[in-house]
A and B are shown apart, each in its own frame.
Chain A
Amino acid sequence: MEWAVFVPTAALALAGGVGVIAARQPVHSALALLMVLASLAVSYLLLAAQFIAVLQVIIYAGAIVVLFLFVIMLLHARSGEGPREKLPRQRAEAYVFAALYLGVLLAAALGAAAPLASIAAEFGTAQQVGESLFTTYLLPFELASVILLVGIVAATVLGRRPPEHAGRGKG
């Protein structure tokens, strides 16, 4: 029964992954990324992680992909890749090493064959994740808010237009 959901989901995720790195237009890459994110949200549901699945849709699909699309539209002019290759052998070597790396990863993944633990019905709910976040992981949780603040400040500073009278000396 679960296979009937998992196999199409995995196929969509793989197709989207290929689409991200193979698309000519950055917009197509962003839409392929959206497909991967949605497929992974479905597999999180299969893995009894309902809270994480909702977070995935809200944060990744809702916020991050939209941010990517905004920037792609902002930079639309001349955001393609030129024909020039500074490192002509890099492409072939990248495929070889990626294939070797995939072999190592798959060997490790298939070696991790342990039976799934039996879990309670409330495993992965927002309540259970929240209890863990506010007890065991309270300090990292608070530090996460500091990281988010750093992100806000950094984006504001970097996105600010330089004052007109000062010129563009820093470039």
Chain B
Amino acid sequence: MVPAPAYLALSAVLFTLGAVGVLVRRNALIIFMAVELMLNSVNLAFVTFARQHGSIDGQVAVFFVLVVAAVEVVVGLALIVDIFRSRETVDIDDVDLLRG
């Protein structure tokens, strides 16, 4: 049997990788994929805790995370396409109209 902390450690490392991706990369598409990585690592933690406590609630939470992630990707990619159409770039450093 693989103990729960092994899965949780994998989840923690994946979440940190996603956070580094969001902080370091400037291509909006890759930042988006890093956010998906973080959502998936949280899903892994949910499933691990559901198994650890023998309760199905954690798996139901993963279901809702999946729904929100799907909608987030659809709306976010539509925004990126719209920005690309008007500004010809997906580099987030080039989209700074709100800069003070």
Contacts and interface: CB of A to CB of B under 8 A. Distances in A.
A55 to B, nearest CB: 6
Interface string A43-66: 110111101100110011001100
Contact of A113 (B3, B37, B40, B84): B3
A133 B86 CA distance: 42
B27 to A, nearest CB: 5
Contacts, number: 235
Contacts of B52: 112, 114, 116-117
Interface residues of B, number: 74
A62 to B, nearest CB: 11
B98 interface: no
A112 B78 contact: no
A140 B95 CA distance: 36
Contacts of A116: 1, 3-4, 51-52
B7 A64 contact: no
A86 interface: yes
A94 to B, nearest CB: 4
Interface in B24-53: 24-27, 29-30, 32-34, 36-37, 40, 43-44, 47-48, 50-53
B30 A20 contact: yes
A94 B79 CA distance: 26
Contacts of B68: 147
Main secondary structure of the interface of A (DSSP, over half): helix
A81 B26 contact: yes
Contacts of A148: 67, 70-71
A59 B33 contact: no
B67 A154 contact: no
Given A52-B47, A155-B78, A2 B2 contact: yes
Interface of B: 1-21, 23-27, 29-30, 32-34, 36-37, 40, 43-44, 47-48, 50-54, 56-57, 59-60, 62-64, 66-71, 73-75, 77-82, 84, 86-91, 93-94
Interface of A: 2-3, 6, 10, 13-14, 17-18, 20-21, 23, 26, 29-30, 33, 36-37, 40, 43-44, 46-49, 51-52, 55-56, 59-60, 63-64, 67-68, 71-72, 74-75, 78-82, 84, 86, 90-91, 94-95, 97-98, 101-102, 105-106, 108-110, 112-114, 116-119, 123-124, 128-129, 132-133, 136-137, 140, 144, 147-148, 150-152, 154-155, 158-159, 168, 171
